[in-house]
Structure 1
Amino acid sequence: MRHRSRGITGVSTTGHIDYMSFTLPDDAYLECEVEHLFGIPFTKFIEASSGRSGYRKRYEYGNIDVLTDGGSSGMGHNITLKGAACHRYQRCLRDIVEHVFAIDGHFTRCDLAIDDFHGLLDMEVIGEAITGGLVTANFKKVREYNERERTTGMLTGRGAYFGSRKSEVFIRIYDKALEQRVDQHWVRVELELKGSRANAAMKLVLTKEIGTVARGILNSRLSFREKSKDGNRSRWPVSGWWKSFIASVEKLQLVADSREGVSQESRLVSFFQNAATFAELVDNCGPWVILLMYDNGKRKLERRGGVNPWAA
């Protein structure tokens, strides 16, 4: 068994995004948006041999996937950043998120992760809490797992799943050090959010630190308890180690908004960030492109019921 770091009681409040997927509207200029968001000319993306998820075309560059040419109206263009791509753009993440919302895009999935290197989370203690009925959660399913080499019996993975992978909120806690075969304490907590919950979480990321968002969601959906005589488990005291990990972050509810608007200031910032691309379009295509953009924007306003987001 690896030695754990028992002397450190603090834990970093930072977290990171390990996976995110978002959809841009049908009338978004895909090539321009990709270059604006990632600084990569769309010509560098390689077209895959087949589409996916109802999209006829798929393009790949590193850990970025672009799906386009949907089979029906309204599918838009789907962009996914996995692992290394999320890490690469971590510093400009809020700019990406704000721009997606500014052009009426939405997020379809995001994975929020928190790493514990300080020994606050112990997989053996978590396992004992699960088998001892000391978990309160907004999930029907809780599952532990252990993975071993078939020939040697050596433990290669262990963790716990809370909820169903098919639901919009799924939590996993696992021994990352064991998975990576490194000799240190490293337990990862991941929240896999889909659909409206992913979209709501990314709106919170615009104003809060990722680790705060992740802990707030965890605090509202999962807790480890100390047994007491109270017949109601939800009133049992929260375990000290879980309190330390949550770090007094308040509960956050993932509420799906009804088309909440982006501020006029944010829209202006997004517009001027695209000014160079806009000028290049006019130079290459002619001034008619201005009218085309206006027509597309007008149709988008009509779909909203005629509400002008620029109006005071």
Structure 2
Amino acid sequence: MSEAKLTPITNRGVERTETKKEYLTACIDWVQITVKNATPETICEEILGIKYDIMREDLRAGIQGARSVCSHGDIRILEHTGQNEYIGHQLLMAGKGCREFENHLVAQGIDWFQFFERALKFDINFPRIDLAIDDRKTYFKIATLRTMAKKGQCVTRLRLGVGHDSFDLSEGDGLGDTIDFGSRSSELFVTFYEKNHEQATKFGNDEKRKERWNRYELKFRQKKAVLVVQELIKSRDVYSVVMPILNEKIRFAVKDSADSNKRRWKTWQPWGWFMQDISKLQLKMEPMERNYPEFYAWLEKYIAPSLKVMQEIDRITGERNLQRLIDESVLDRKHEDMIERFIRQYEVFNTQDRLALNTKTMNEDVIYLRNAIHLLENTELLPSELSMMCRRFYFVFHDYFMKEQRKTKEVMETERHLNKMSQAIVHHMLDNNWGVVKDQLFASFRALLALIERNSRLEIVG
């Protein structure tokens, strides 16, 4: 949608469907807390509200001045090496970790504001907090902001501005625009970019480029991070944090050649509409869905003992209360979706190892690859699950090229490419770069599936 086609916010007679559909939302996208005088167990149990015994050793690289200690998914605890001002532990949650932690917040019946309140009861500091605003209406194009900024139409107190775009070197296709405000090392850094292009590149899915999705990230460090947390707790909203910062720091204006004072220039209308809708901005939680292996592990560790107790009581008393509870439970749409999702994941994760490769049909390969691609694109996977998928990909990959008699140029080039990808994946696994492993697995599955579907004479069933 071009800037000129946006409906004016001041049109009071028009019902704003955008508000109902929540085209503009905010989320916590990075939380980094330094905790002094507390053990990892205390941090887990009393600050995070997570049982310490479900944490596992974190073999990933640490961050500057801190080494990894333990983690639950991407909720990480690190230990300072003694080279920093704050000696103690770091609690670190990047974007994915924040989404995972929101599952725990929901389970505890609290929100981010209450979590920050709880954390402040301890001897802590906030090195960094990020707020992300997702704009699925796209009030403006990032490229337009870049052009206006270069023409001097950005009224800002931030001294440094960087605008850039990414593109595919082989095809020359654009991969998204970005504009940065401020220095990455300063206490406030703001970046606007096209999230749809970032997601399309990450998952190799060009359909995502058609979506409307800009992201505006505000990254706060040190003193400003502390002030942001205090304001969030005080106001219980993100509007009171975002609005003053954007009002004070950034404004796009219509150039007035007759007035040399840019601060008197009129606000560019699309920016004005955006800022007025910021007043309705809500902090959203988007808990990351638990996958089947995680669900099974949770059931086994926390629920199964209670079920066993109930089963034993029924055995002794001759009752059938446990079965009655199960039979009388009502499943809603959320549970039905969970069943469907878990069955799909079960089929991928529990496919029997291929001991007799020559008995496997081409259709089964295609079904497996399609399921794996869907899972990689839509589910957060544990390192153990990604390792399993790497192993099974190896079987499918080598089986296909052993059987394929038509050694065309395309087949040979794809085989060489996937061989290199397989070697790279192994190296990233050894370095615990699981995000890279997932992205490269996704690209490899797609490349192999495309080749099989193009070259196969069989009727593919989906």
Q: Give your verdict on TM over 0.5.
A: yes
Report which of the two has the higher share of strand.
Answer: 1
**Whose helix proportion is higher, 1 or 2?**
2
Per the TM alignment, residue 163 of structure 1 is displaced from its structure 2 partner at its CA by 1.1
1:221 and 2:240 equivalent? no
The aligned counterpart of 1:176 is 195
Post-superposition offset of 1:49: 6.7
C-alpha distance in structure 2 between counterparts of 1:224 and 1:109, whole Å: 27
Any conservation in 1 of the 2:138–2:212 contact (CA below 8 Å)?
Answer: yes
Q: What's the CA shift for 1:211? A: 4.3
Structure 1 residue 19: Cα displacement: 0.8
Structure 1 partner of 2:50: 40
Q: Find the counterpart in structure 1 of residue 362 from structure 2.
A: none
Q: Which amino acid aligns with 1:179?
A: E
Alignment equivalent of 2:34, drawn from 13, 23, 47: 23
Percent of matched pairs sharing the same residue: 25
Distance 2:252 2:82 in 1: 45
Retained in 2: the 8 A contact 1:3–1:184? no
The structure 1 residue matched to 2:113, chosen from 94, 113, 120, is 94
Q: Supply the RMSD in Å over aligned alpha carbons.
A: 2.6
Tell me if 1:76 matches 2:88: yes
Give the counterpart of 1:245 among 268, 274, 278. 274
Distance in 2 (CA, whole Å) between partners of 1:244 and 1:3 is 13
Q: Using a 3 Å threshold, how does the CA distance of structure 1 residues 47 and 115 change in structure 2: closer, same or farther?
A: closer
How far apart, in 1, do the equivalents of 2:4 and 2:259 lie?
34
Does the 8 A contact of 1:15 with 1:214 survive in 2? no
Question: Could you tell me how far apart the structure 2 residues matched to 1:93 and 1:21 are?
Answer: 13
Say whether residues 1:140 and 2:143 are aligned partners.
no
| 1:167 and 2:196 matched | no
Once the two structures are TM-superposed, the CA of residue 247 in structure 1 deviates from its matched residue by 1.6
Q: Distance in 2 between matches of 1:22 and 1:97?
A: 10
Distance verdict in 2 for CA 1:96–1:16, change over 3 Å: same
Q: Alignment partner of 2:120: what SS?
A: helix
Q: Is the 8 A contact 1:175 1:188 kept in 2?
A: yes
Q: Contact 1:134–1:224 (CA<8 Å) still a contact in 2?
A: yes
Contact 2:28–2:132 under 8 Å retained in 1: yes
Q: Is the 8 A contact 1:113 1:214 kept in 2?
A: no
Q: Is the 8 A contact 2:80 2:90 kept in 1?
A: no
In structure 2, the residue matched to 1:210 is 238
CA distance in 1, matches of 2:4, 2:112: 32
Quickly say closer, same or farther: Cα 1:14–1:209, change in 2 above 3 A: farther
Give the number of aligned pairs: 248
Change (3 A) 1:21 1:4: same
Letter of the structure 1 residue corresponding to residue 263 of structure 2: S
Structure 1 regions of 5+ residues with no counterpart?
Answer: 251-312
Cα distance, 1:4 vs. partner? 8.6
Equivalent pair of 1:114/1:211 in contact (CA under 8 Å): no
Deviations 1:158-194 (A, max 9, x none): 1101111111111110111122231221111101111
Q: Is contact 2:231–2:240 with CA below 8 Å preserved after alignment?
A: no
Separation in structure 2 between the aligned mates of residue 173 and residue 50 of structure 1, nearest angstrom = 28
Please state whether the residue corresponding to 1:205 is helix, strand or coil: helix
Equivalent positions of 1:285-296 (< 5 A) are: none
CA distances 1:202-261 after superposition (whole Å, capped 9, x unpaired): 1111123124422332222111111122211112111121121122769xxxxxxxxxxx
Do the aligned partners of residues 33 and 135 (structure 1) sit closer, same or farther apart at CA in structure 2, a change above 3 Å counting? same
- For residue 225 of structure 1, what is the amino acid of its counterpart? A
Deviation at 1:5, TM superposition (A): 11
- Alpha carbons of structure 1 residues 36 and 53: separation in structure 2 relative to 1, 3 Å: same
Contact 1:176 1:187 in 2 (8 A): yes
Amino acid of the structure 2 residue aligned with 1:71: G
- Tell me which residue corresponds to 1:66: 77
- Alpha-carbon deviations, 1:129-166, whole Å to 9, x = none? 11221001122211111111111001112110111111
The question of 1:189 aligning with 2:201 is answered: no
Larger Rg: 2
One-letter identity of the residue aligned with 2:276: A
